[in-house]
């Protein structure tokens, strides 16, 4: 079941071939001038260039062949040799009936599905999340859903930052402020003889009662400032990090507590945002792989000494910019961020053997990934091209710099969601929406509206583009916003409810009116939008489609009465169109990670 663009491309390819030209020229796209045509093919121009012929002559030949296609109401030449096509109402009706009957509402499955791992969000223990993490979560979740929906075998991994210097900072700071924990740590450099599971549980319970999430939130920022001013403290924290990594028993227990507290809170917040991971692996999980990996890199002759550190050189001849070497072991003997990433590639190969790993991480880390990927290719840890960084720009404040809270700090996901929810409540009330809902339903709707506002505002931009945080605009029910889309979907639901109450039933779709036609053309364009979003790893194409579809429905609904349609057949056809639109709209929203409420 091909979409029209694809099936017309096949017809045009065959026509070019019949005219003695390469079929590749038969690519058909949506028309730039929907007032003149539905589709266009510009291939005659390119074909003329390569065959050194007159483009118009080629276009005439191709058009003559295409004229025989029963699906086309007209095929015409425009300008120097553009081919314009209009699909017949019958062919369009048949295609939309197909979509209506299709479980996937017109979206196709990949011919060659792959195993794909999406590495996204990348939160850290105790370190507050910044806008980069927010965007990574929103975009990564959507890419994951899109890839899975198209048929790939997909695993989404949070890649928890649980192993760096911040752990040493936390350990040192806690030991400074809590004498009991300090003494405990001194007592437990390694597991005492006969230390039982019950003993361990007792220690963990002690941590539980002494160190809460609020403590971590307070201690980390303070420690992070302190290490900048207090070299002795910094040194201690460094040492603690190394000792933790080398397995110091007490530190490991304390670390486990930090990780747990942090993770529980993060998972809850992510869940509220509609972001859920299949895997929650941490940087710590590859710790044991690092030593053998370093040896292996050495054996392969890739590791070189450089001022006491050990690095892999990855620069290539003809590089357009400097690509620094990968720092594998620092001069102090510690593994670095890139070392962990390299070892993680090995780990993923063992567990899931992905064809592709997508790293949905801030654009500012582009060079880091370029370095890691090149090292991985050199070492034979991944096939060339199997690692891809899908970077994104920043969400900025009105000052043009990465968004900060009014107090100047990084925003907390929790607070951001609450802000959006509060604004959504306000918006709903001022629009007179949700008045008949119970308090619980109203809250649920406000939450969904708030999350949709945040997510859609992000996803409607191409990911590389930066945008300005503007909650007033994001939460508006008018314009290109999440709330507008939710409102439209709720409106369709209420139309369908009223139709059901009036005893109307859906039936065979037949397209007559221009507004029906436009809606039908959009339903058909879904597959094209998904495949573009998939190829470019860019959910904005899905967002754009959802928005256009909602608009087309709105126009259709204004021009074409449904329940009060003139005939039974017309009513049945329009009802079916509305149902299909709702299904496709909700599916598109779901791929963006946006959930629509039942009522407003």
Quick one: the chain helix, strand, coil %, rounded to 5?
55, 10, 35
CA separation for the pair 416, 489 (Å, rounded): 25
The C-alpha atoms of residue 95 and residue 8 are separated, in whole angstroms, by 12
Strands 303-306 and 153-157: unpaired
Cβ of residue 161: shortest distance to ligand ARG, in angstroms?
3
Segment interacting with ligand ARG, rule: CB under 6 A, options 108-116, 117-125, 186-194, 386-394: 117-125
Burial of 193 (0-12, 13-18, 19+ CB in 10 A): exposed
Query: What would the two tokens of residue 344 be?
Result: 């993680």
Pick between residue 361 and residue 594 the one whose CB is nearest to ligand ARG: 361
Q: Which of 119, 141, 518, 586 binds ligand ARG (CB under 6 A)?
A: 119
* Interface map 339-378 toward ligand ARG (x if CB under 6 A): --x-----------------x-x-----------------
Contact 80, 45 (CB under 8 A): yes
Total binding residues toward ligand ARG, as defined by CB under 6 A? 8
Is 120 or 149 the residue whose CB approaches ligand ARG more closely? 120
Q: Which of residues 326-345 bind ligand ARG (CB under 6 A)?
A: 341
Query: CA–CA separation, 361 vs 139, rounded Å?
Result: 9
By CB under 6 A, what part of segment 381-400 binds ligand ARG? none
Q: Which is nearer to ligand ARG, 390 or 495 (CB)?
A: 390
Our CB check for ligand ARG shows the closer of 119 and 152 to be 119
Q: How far is the CB of 122 from ligand ARG (least distance, A)?
A: 3
Q: Is 122 in the site for ligand ARG (CB under 6 A)?
A: yes
- Contact with ligand ARG (CB under 6 A): which of 144, 145, 150, 159? 159
Comparison of 106 and 161: residue with beta carbon closer to ligand ARG = 161
* Contact range with ligand ARG by CB under 6 A, out of 118-126, 271-279, 451-459, 571-579: 118-126
Closest Cα to residue 581, out of 505, 499, 493?
493
Q: How far apart are CA 12 and CA 17, in angstroms?
A: 9
Count the neighbouring beta carbons within 10 Å of the beta carbon of residue 76: 14
C-alpha to C-alpha distance for 354 and 387, rounded to whole angstroms = 10
285 binds ligand ARG (CB under 6 A): no
| List 81, 161, 168, 402, residue binding ligand ARG (CB under 6 A) | 161
Instruction: Determine the Cα–Cα distance for residues 554 and 481; give it in Å rounded to an integer.
Output: 15
Kindly write down the DSSP assignment for every residue of 384-409, as one continuous string. Answer: TTSEEE----PEE-TTSSB---TTSS
Find where tokens 């007033």 sit.
Answer: 472
The contact pattern for ligand ARG, residues 37-66, with x = CB under 6 A and - = no contact, is ------------------------------
CB 170 within 8 A of CB 216: yes
Binding flag, residue 124, ligand ARG (CB under 6 A): yes
**Which residue's CB atom is positioned nearest to ligand ARG?**
122
Minimum distance between the CB of residue 337 and ligand ARG, rounded to whole angstroms? 7
Residues that bind ligand ARG (CB under 6 A): 119, 122, 124, 159, 161, 341, 359, 361
């Amino acid at each position: 079941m091909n979409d029209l663009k694809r099936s017309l491309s096949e017809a045009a390819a065959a026509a070019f071939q019949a005219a003695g030209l390469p079929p590749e020229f038969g690519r058909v796209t949506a028309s730039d001038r929907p007032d003149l045509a539905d589709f266009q093919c510009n291939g005659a121009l390119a074909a003329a260039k390569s065959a050194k012929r007159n483009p118009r002559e080629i276009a005439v030949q191709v058009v003559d062949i295409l004229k025989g296609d029963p699906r086309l109401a007209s095929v015409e030449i425009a300008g120097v040799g553009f081919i314009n096509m209009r699909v017949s109402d019958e062919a369009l009706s048949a295609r939309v009936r197909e979509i209506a009957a299709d479980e996937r509402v017109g979206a196709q499955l990949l011919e060659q599905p792959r195993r794909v791992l999406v590495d996204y969000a990348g939160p850290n223990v105790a370190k507050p999340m910044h806008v980069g993490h927010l965007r990574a979560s929103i975009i990564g979740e959507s890419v994951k859903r899109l890839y899975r929906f198209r048929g790939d075998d997909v695993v989404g991994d949070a890649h928890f930052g649980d192993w760096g210097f911040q752990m040493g900072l936390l350990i040192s700071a806690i030991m400074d402020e809590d004498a009991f924990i300090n003494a405990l740590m001194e007592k437990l450099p390694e597991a005492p003889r006969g230390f039982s599971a019950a003993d361990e549980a007792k220690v963990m319970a002690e941590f539980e009662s002494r160190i809460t999430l609020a403590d971590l939130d307070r201690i980390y920022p303070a420690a992070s400032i302190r290490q900048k001013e207090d070299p002795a403290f910094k040194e201690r924290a460094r040492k603690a990090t190394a000792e933790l990594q080398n397995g110091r028993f007490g530190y490991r227990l304390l670390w486990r507590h930090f990780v747990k507290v942090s993770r529980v809170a993060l998972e809850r917040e992510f869940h509220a945002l509609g972001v859920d991971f299949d895997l929650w692996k941490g940087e710590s999980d590859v710790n044991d792989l690092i030593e053998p990996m370093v040896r292996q890199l050495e054996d392969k002759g890739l590791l070189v000494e450089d001022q006491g550190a050990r690095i892999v050189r990855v620069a290539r001849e003809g590089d357009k910019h400097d690509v620094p070497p990968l720092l594998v072991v620092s001069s102090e003997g510690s593994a670095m961020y890139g070392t962990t990433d390299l070892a993680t590639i090995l780990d993923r190969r063992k567990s899931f053997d992905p064809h592709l790993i997508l790293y949905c991480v801030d654009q500012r880390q582009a060079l880091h990934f370029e370095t890691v990927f090149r090292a991985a290719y050199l070492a034979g840890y991944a096939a060339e091209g199997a690692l891809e960084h899908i970077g994104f720009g920043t969400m900025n404040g009105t000052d043009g710099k990465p968004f900060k809270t009014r107090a100047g700090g990084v925003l907390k996901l929790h607070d951001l969601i609450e802000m959006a929810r509060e604004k959504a409540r306000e918006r709903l009330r001022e629009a007179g929406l949700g008045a008949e809902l119970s308090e619980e339903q109203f809250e649920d709707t406000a939450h969904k509206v708030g999350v949709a506002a945040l997510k859609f505002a992000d996803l409607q931009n191409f990911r590389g583009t930066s945008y300005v945080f503007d909650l007033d605009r994001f939460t508006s029910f008018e314009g290109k916003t999440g709330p507008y889309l939710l409102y439209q979907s709720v409106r369709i639901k209420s139309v369908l409810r009223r139709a059901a109450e009036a005893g109307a039933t859906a039936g065979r779709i037949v397209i007559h009116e221009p507004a029906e036609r436009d809606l039908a053309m959009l339903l058909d364009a879904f597959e094209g939008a998904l495949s573009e979003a998939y190829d470019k790893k860019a959910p904005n194409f899905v967002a754009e489609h959802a928005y256009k579809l909602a608009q087309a429905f709105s126009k259709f609904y204004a021009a074409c009465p449904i329940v009060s349609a003139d005939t039974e057949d017309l009513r049945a056809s329009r009802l079916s169109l509305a149902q299909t639109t709702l299904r496709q709209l909700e599916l598109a929203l779901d791929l963006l990670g946006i959930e629509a409420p039942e009522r407003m």
